[in-house]
Amino acid sequence: MIEPGISDAMAEYVTLAVLALHRDFLAYRVQQAGGDWQPLRFRPPGALRMGVLGTGVLANTSLSALQPFGFRLNAWSRSRQSIGGVECFAGKAEMDKFSVSAISSFACCR
């Protein structure tokens, strides 16, 4: 059982982390600290694939939060799942395929 609010809080954190990586927040923060401002390469969300380990309540809420941004989404779990708009992988046999195809970012949820 998941305590009320935990699922939404996880989705917020995952969304924050993914968007920070997608928009190069850390690189811009370093530039800001150095008094520099150089535009970085923009990548449309559809050019990036995000992977989530797990397909439980926390993972599903996080995936749902990311879908409106247009990222290509992957999920891996021990057993076969089907989630709309998400390419799902299952079992040890597909872990490598999941890892290789979700090279942009990972989130671990249960």
Is 71 inside any structural domain?
Answer: yes
> Using one digit for the tens of pLDDT, what is the confidence trace for 94-110?
998 888 776 566 666 55
pLDDT digits (tens, 9 = 90+) for 5-36: 999 999 999 999 999 989 999 999 999 999 99
The closest of 4, 96, 1 to 51, measured between CA atoms, is 96
Dump pLDDT digits (tens) for 56-74.
Answer: 999 999 999 999 999 999 9
Q: Are 73 and 87 in contact (CB under 8 A)?
A: yes
63 in any annotated domain = yes
What CATH number is attached to the domain comprising 59? 3.40.50.720
Contact 46, 71 (CB under 8 A): yes
Distance CA(77)–CA(90), nearest Å, equals 5
Helix axes 6-22, 57-66, angle to 10 degrees: 40
Q: Answer with the residue of higher pLDDT: 2 or 87.
A: 87
What's the domain count of the chain?
1
Considering the domain boundaries, does residue 3 fall inside one?
no
- Domain assignment present for residue 1? The answer is no
pLDDT exceeds cutoff 60 at 86: yes
Specify if 42 maps to a domain.
no
* Contact predicate 69/45, CB 8 Å: yes
Q: Please give the residue range of the domain that contains residue 20.
A: 8-36+47-108
Within-domain flag for 41: no
Burial tier of 49 (Cβ tally within 10 Å: 0-12, 13-18, 19+)? middle
Average pLDDT over residues 73-100: 93
Model pLDDT, residue 45: 93
> Has residue 2 been placed in a domain?
no
